Each structure stands twice: as structure tokens, then as C-alpha cells.
């Protein structure tokens, strides 16, 4: 039986560190208040001239090095981003050029903060079907360019960064073999207005009026997102474990979208998980949208927080609305 397995991870954040004092001052918030609200102490922002593909290239190189697979040997490159270099061509094609991976299939996908798991699901399906033998899945975001410094709902949350994994096809002879067991995807378009950039697309093109109204900047209804994310993710994780005949006690590690430390804590309590099971890097990097999960995964790998045979739950929630879960035996 063919199964896909993650054989390399990588991540990258820009060198510029942005402290709570910088983002909090225009809002009248001090660092302790921001930590209490979000769990975030620092985030990283890209310098002018650096785009999502630049961050993606750094993370991808590290993932390929960890996997021992040169980029030119890949069969496909998938990039999740809500902050592409440009409307087109795809950020994935910019990344392919940067990696020197000539003729490798490359395309973008957009599922907001759930995008990495959407990409992982596509790669897993193509590998299981035999269409691919290897795939690079990258999530890269430069969210700092879409922030309104006067907006309390978003200004303190977001950072920039990229995370990547290399997935390969393996024959899983034993039922307990390492690999991706399954990824489950969900969406609820009726909630599209909870997290959005109102202008800049074909429905409302950018112009002088939209710029004056700051409609090209990120908007979020924080309280509604908080409640909805916890409800959907809790149920989705419960359903995923039940599908594979597991319980919360079988889970060794949960690596979820780093949206807000309070969401992670509420999710942990509702699932009845020990505190040490939830892995988080939000204190260091903030919310990096779809890049947050693969960044956290790479940090966990490099800090040796995952052991062979561990049952790992992946989970994400974002605009769309979209949410997703994944189950991996490490």
C-alpha cells in the first residue's frame, strides 16, 4: 500500500524582530496586555522588497536539505499563500525559478490559514494515486503589508514567515508504518466576512476610494472567529480520531495553527489533553497565517519534540471559512 511520508521540514522568518511595544503603542496597549490577549511577545516582519516567494525559497531549501532531496528532483511544488508576490503568475512559479527546479509542476492554492493542510491533502492524494513520487508543500506569508496599525483586531497578531515540508511516496507494509494517515478538509462560505480583505479583487478593485477607506487591509471579527474556531476544530479533531479508532489519550502531539494562545488553550481543555501535548511557538512568531503550522512543525522537529511512532494531530482554521485536520504517524 502506498503512503506519503514527511521526510524533511524547513522554516524561515525574516530577521527583523517586532516587539509588542511597537505594535501596541498606537493602540494604547502595553506588552503585558498583548501577551494576555494573544500569547504573543514578538513577531518577524519582512523588509521592503522581500516577498512571499523569498521567504518560501529559504524554507524550501531547508526542507530539501533535511530530506536529502535536491529541488530539481521534485515532482511538484505547491504553495499556500494569501499574500502572493502578485496576482499572477503564481508564487509557486517564482519559487520554482528561485530553487532552480526547472520544469517541476508548480501552482498556488488559497485556503487562508488552513492552506498548508489543504496543500498537504492534495500532495498526499497525488502521491497515494501514484501520480507523484515526491512533493514540496510550502506556506509563505507576508501579512505585515496588509495590516492597519490602528485596528485592535489585527495589528498585534500577525507576523511574516514560511514553512515547508518534503513528502515522498513509500510502501507502507505494516499498519503502524510512519506516514500521513489522513487529512480532512472543511469549508463554510457563509462565514466569509469574518476574516477578509474587502477590496483588491474583481468584485471590488482597488482604487482611490478603497484606499481611502482602508479596504485593502485585513479585517477580522475577532470574537466571532475565536468562538467559531474552537467549536469547529474541537469537533473536527474528535471526528478524525474516531475515524481512525483513536482517542485523545493516544495523541502524543498536537500542532495547530498559531492564531492565538487562548484558542490553543481552550482547545486543549475541551479535548482533555495534557498541557505538554500542545506545541506552540506563537510567543516568538505570532500568527503567520497559513505558514504558522509548518513553521511550528519544523521547530518541533528541530527541537526533537517528535519521536518515531508518535501520533501527531495537525489542525488549522482560517478565512473562508476553512478548517482542516490531519493525522500523522511520525
Rounded to 5 degrees, what angle do the CA atoms 17, 52, 260 make? 55
Can 257 be counted among the known catalytic residues? yes
Can 192 be counted among the known catalytic residues? no
Tell whether 248 and 286 lie within a shared domain: yes
The single residue of 93, 94, 135, 287 carrying the catalytic annotation is 287
The total number of structural domains that make up the chain: 2
Where does the chain have alpha helices with state H? Answer: 20-24, 31-38, 52-67, 91-99, 115-128, 208-212, 222-243, 261-271, 282-285, 292-302
Q: Over pLDDT 70: what percentage of the chain?
A: 99
**Which cell numbers in the block locate residue 46?**
519582512
Can 113 be counted among the known catalytic residues? yes
pLDDT in tens, 24-62: 999 999 999 999 999 999 999 999 999 999 999 999 999
pLDDT of residue 31: 97
pLDDT of residue 174: 79
Residue 243 pLDDT greater than 80, yes or no: yes
Instruction: Write down the pTM of the prediction.
Output: 0.96
C-alpha to C-alpha distance for 158 and 40, rounded to whole angstroms: 9
pLDDT in tens, 225-241: 989 999 999 999 999 99
C-alpha to C-alpha distance for 302 and 297, rounded to whole angstroms: 9
Tell whether 164 and 184 lie within a shared domain: no
Residue 325 pLDDT greater than 80, yes or no: yes
Tell whether 50 and 130 lie within a shared domain: yes
The single residue of 113, 135, 232, 260 carrying the catalytic annotation is 113
Tell whether 263 and 116 lie within a shared domain: no
pLDDT in tens, 157-200: 999 999 999 999 998 767 788 999 999 999 999 989 999 999 89
Residue 246 pLDDT greater than 90, yes or no: yes
Residue 305 pLDDT greater than 90, yes or no: yes
Chain mean pLDDT for the chain: 96
Mean pLDDT of 315-328: 97
Residue 128 pLDDT greater than 90, yes or no: yes
The single residue of 20, 257, 260, 299 carrying the catalytic annotation is 257
Tell whether 211 and 277 lie within a shared domain: yes
Cis-peptide into 321, omega within 30 deg: yes
Tell whether 133 and 185 lie within a shared domain: no
Contact at 8 Å (CB) between 140 and 170? Answer: no
Where does 192-257 have alpha helices with state H? Answer: 208-212, 222-243
Range(s) of the domain holding residue 69: 2-171
What is the Rg, in whole angstroms, of the alpha carbon atoms belonging to the chain?
19
265-273, Cβ contacts within 8 angstroms, sequence gap of 24 or more: 266/230, 267/230, 267/233, 267/234, 267/237, 267/315, 270/230, 270/234, 271/234, 271/237, 271/238, 272/248, 273/248
Tell whether 325 and 287 lie within a shared domain: yes
pLDDT in tens, 98-116: 999 999 999 999 999 999 9
Amino acid at each position: 500500500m502506498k503512503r506519503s511520508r514527511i521526510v524533511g521540514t524547513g522554516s524561515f522568518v525574516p530577521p527583523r524582530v517586532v516587539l509588542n511595544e511597537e505594535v501596541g503603542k498606537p493602540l494604547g496597549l502595553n506588552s503585558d496586555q498583548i501577551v494576555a490577549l494573544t500569547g504573543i511577545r514578538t513577531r518577524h516582519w519582512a523588509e521592503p522588497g522581500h516577498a512571499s516567494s523569498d521567504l518560501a525559497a529559504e524554507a524550501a531549501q531547508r526542507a530539501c536539505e533535511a530530506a536529502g532531496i535536491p529541488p530539481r528532483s521534485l515532482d511538484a511544488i505547491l504553495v499556500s499563500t494569501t499574500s502572493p508576490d502578485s496576482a499572477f503568475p503564481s508564487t509557486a512559479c517564482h519559487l520554482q525559478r528561485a530553487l532552480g527546479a526547472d520544469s517541476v509542476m508548480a501552482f498556488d492554492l488559497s485556503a487562508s490559514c488552513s492552506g498548508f493542510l489543504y496543500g498537504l491533502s492534495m500532495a498526499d492524494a497525488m502521491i497515494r494515486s501514484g501520480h507523484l513520487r515526491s512533493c514540496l508543500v510550502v506556506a509563505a506569508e507576508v501579512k505585515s503589508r496588509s495590516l492597519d496599525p490602528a485596528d485592535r483586531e489585527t495589528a498585534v497578531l500577525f507576523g511574516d514567515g514560511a514553512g515547508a515540508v518534503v513528502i515522498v511516496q513509500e510502501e507502507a507494509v505494516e499498519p503502524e508504518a510512519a506516514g500521513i494517515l489522513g487529512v480532512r478538509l472543511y469549508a463554510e462560505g457563509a462565514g466569509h466576512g469574518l476574516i477578509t480583505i474587502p477590496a483588491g479583487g474583481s468584485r471590488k478593485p482597488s482604487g482611490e476610494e478603497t484606499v481611502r477607506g482602508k479596504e485593502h487591509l485585513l479585517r477580522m471579527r475577532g470574537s466571532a472567529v475565536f468562538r467559531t474556531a474552537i467549536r469547529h476544530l474541537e469537533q473536527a479533531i474528535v471526528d478524525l480520531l474516531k475515524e481512525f479508532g483513536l482517542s485523545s489519550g493516544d495523541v502524543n502531539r498536537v500542532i495547530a495553527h498559531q492564531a492565538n494562545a487562548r484558542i490553543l488553550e481552550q482547545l486543549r481543555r475541551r479535548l482533555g489533553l495534557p498541557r505538554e501535548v500542545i506545541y506552540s511557538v506563537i510567543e516568538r512568531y505570532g500568527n503567520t497565517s497559513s505558514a504558522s503550522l509548518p513553521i511550528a512543525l519544523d521547530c518541533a522537529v528541530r527541537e526533537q519534540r517528535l519521536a518515531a511512532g508518535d501520533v501527531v494531530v495537525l489542525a488549522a482554521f482560517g478565512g473562508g471559512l476553512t478548517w482542516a485536520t490531519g493525522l500523522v504517524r511520525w
